[in-house]
Amino acid sequence: MTGSRIHITQGERGVSGDPEVVISTILGSCVSCCLWDPVAGVGGMNHMLLTVSSGERGICNLAGINAMELLINDILKLGGQRHRLKAKAFGGARMVSGLSDIGKTNSSFTLEFLKAEGIECEGHSLGGETARHVMFWPATGRVMQKIRKDAPPEIRPEIPVAQAAGNDLELF
């Protein structure tokens, strides 16, 4: 593989408009949202550990909103337009049975945020019980995902796989 790789971890994000750049991360219960503007050829990906918290004052989703808005603002700074953004979302696995399902909460937040903001989610691979390695080319919207071969059906991609052109998801 040629080009540069930006690896992000919990709480981080990466953006680029360079067609040779790939952004990668490894997800368990965390969720990554891949956003790009197909006209401007710019995009980015975040890695959200906790999108929602709860306490004495109830449920607060400011951490997730902040992570999404920071990613969107970084894309806009590179020339993207909010109304043209497309999305794909990954992660949200239930990594430890018997504990709260933070992966499901993270997944729900991400899809609800995209819907509320009018950002088309072209596809997602959320849930299940296994980790994912995600690689995203922000200039084109191309995504590759690697999951365990024995992954249950509920986390197999809902995005078309192995299409010759377009912004498809490829397994590697």
Catalytic residues: 30
Residues 133, 105: Cα–Cα separation, whole Å: 20
Strand pairing category for 86-91 and 31-37: antiparallel
Residues 42, 21: Cα–Cα separation, whole Å: 11
Strands (E), the chain: 5-7, 13-16, 22-27, 31-37, 42-46, 53-55, 58-60, 86-91, 120-126, 132-137, 142-147, 169-171
Residues 64, 48: Cα–Cα separation, whole Å: 7
